[in-house]
Amino acid sequence: MTEPDTERFLADLHKLRSFGASGIGKGVMRPAYSDADLASRDWLAGRMAEAGLTPVFDSMGNLFGLSDRPGPLLGSHSDTQPEGGWLDGALGVIAALEVARCVPGVSVVSFQDEEGRFGVCTGSEVWSGGTPQDEADRLSDDDGITLGVARRALAERAGEPVRPDRFTGYVEMHIEQGPVLDSCEDVVGVVSDIVGIRDMLITFTGQQNHAGTTPMALRQDAFQGLAAFSTALNDALRNVVTPQTVWTIGHVSVHPNASAIVPGRVTFSMQWRDGDKGRLHRMEQVVRDTARKVADERGLQCSFGEMLGLDPVAMDGRLADALAQAAEEVVPGKWRRMPSGALHDATNVARVLPVAMLFVPSIGGLSHDFAEDTDEADLATGLRVLTGAARKLVS
């Protein structure tokens, strides 16, 4: 039985980091379809071929390294945020490559545009049939470039479509991107589910007025409404949520946003995440009821935008158990089951395959930042757990 080569795995990880290296710490700038992304995919295709896999690009630029037989698909994504870390996505791809060298029957994938230059996990979204290619092609980035134009850079590499039914399941190793593992004794997380997300805009409309002459008692101040809503919501949610539930008002637009004018209108994002679909729904009722109540008390109008979101995805029991058994063999008693608060390609792939995920610690819980890092001993531990699980899944 071939054991994974930790030095070769770390050397490959550092080589991938050199494509788009920011020069600040271990930071990387390798957005989807950038020159650095294209060069890194060509390098990765070469490494796949050297490992005995057949490299195949699809129409999106997702890069597969195919085994000559049916089996599990392992991987993640290798694009980064405009200012990203060296492990987000890259770890799962390079670990999958090393496992494929040791475990015959394992195929590898690097999905394209997980970080959302054009959408949310666009490469796996199209591959799993969530959005047709021609529809996705109309998505555009912040500079107005469409996906259809951007992916031309990879068009001549595209081969035959890769059908999901040649794989028996999908396993994604990833950094946690949160503080849980870093602040406990456990070094591996076996993901139980990927949380669902709900997102909508809320608008309070009051009366814009002079900030000097309008008495406090007569104001219909939309921003004061938002402040009261935020506090009231924290109270109202207390009996609905668990310690894992999160909610965020992350974007606020105050009109007319001037220091001498009582704000007449405020529009803000209201986002919440939880692993339980029923709880997401109950939270929606609380959000709407609280917003209406606060608006009524203050003489404001309240309106709600379209409800967006993704449902929670439970991990496949057989795949997750293979990871759990491997974790217990490699680090007995030093692993835990835990939800994923971040979205991953596995959410999309779950449409077409059973999926599971494995987490390793993020130092300080940091990610989407040049400072993102993980102890190399923890990276090696994750690699051994992934290898152990893959052996169970091919046999």
Among 4, 75, 85, 89, binds Zn ion (CB under 5 A): 89
Q: Interacting stretch for Zn ion, rule CB under 5 A, among 51-59, 80-88, 208-216, 357-365?
A: 80-88
Would you say 113 or 137 has its CB closer to Zn ion? 113
Beta strands 301-304 and 107-111 are unpaired
Number of residues forming the site for Zn ion (CB under 5 A): 2
CA-CA distance, 384 to 382, in Å (whole number)?
A: 5
Would you say 89 or 312 has its CB closer to Zn ion? 89
CA-CA distance, 82 to 142, in Å (whole number)?
A: 12
Rounded to the nearest whole angstrom, what is the least distance from the CB of residue 158 to Zn ion in the complex? 23
**Paired residues of 266 in beta bridges:** 204, 254
- Contact status, residue 304 vs residue 288, Cβ threshold 8 Å: yes
Contacts of 376 by beta carbon, 8 Å cutoff, 6+ apart: 10
Q: Which two tokens stand for residue 98?
A: 């090393």
Q: Which of the residues 164 through 183 are near Zn ion (CB under 5 A)?
A: none
DSSP string of 140-158, one letter each residue: B-TTS-BHHHHTHHHHTTB
Rounded to the nearest whole angstrom, what is the least distance from the CB of residue 150 to Zn ion in the complex? 19
Would you say 103 or 355 has its CB closer to Zn ion? 355
Would you say 79 or 141 has its CB closer to Zn ion? 79
372 contributes a contact to Zn ion by CB under 5 A: no
Q: Interacting stretch for Zn ion, rule CB under 5 A, among 81-89, 153-161, 254-262, 381-389?
A: 81-89
Rounded to the nearest whole angstrom, what is the least distance from the CB of residue 141 to Zn ion in the complex? 18
354 contributes a contact to Zn ion by CB under 5 A: no
Q: Which two tokens stand for residue 105?
A: 């029957």
Q: Which two tokens stand for residue 202?
A: 């809320």
Q: In 10 A of CB 334, how many CB atoms?
A: 15
Closest CA to 153 of 79, 87, 59, 293: 59
84 contributes a contact to Zn ion by CB under 5 A: no
88 contributes a contact to Zn ion by CB under 5 A: yes
**Paired residues of 196 in beta bridges:** 274
Rounded to the nearest whole angstrom, what is the least distance from the CB of residue 104 to Zn ion in the complex? 27
Binding mask 4-33 for Zn ion (x = CB under 5 A): ------------------------------
Rounded to the nearest whole angstrom, what is the least distance from the CB of residue 229 to Zn ion in the complex? 32
Q: Which residues bind Zn ion (CB under 5 A)?
A: 88-89
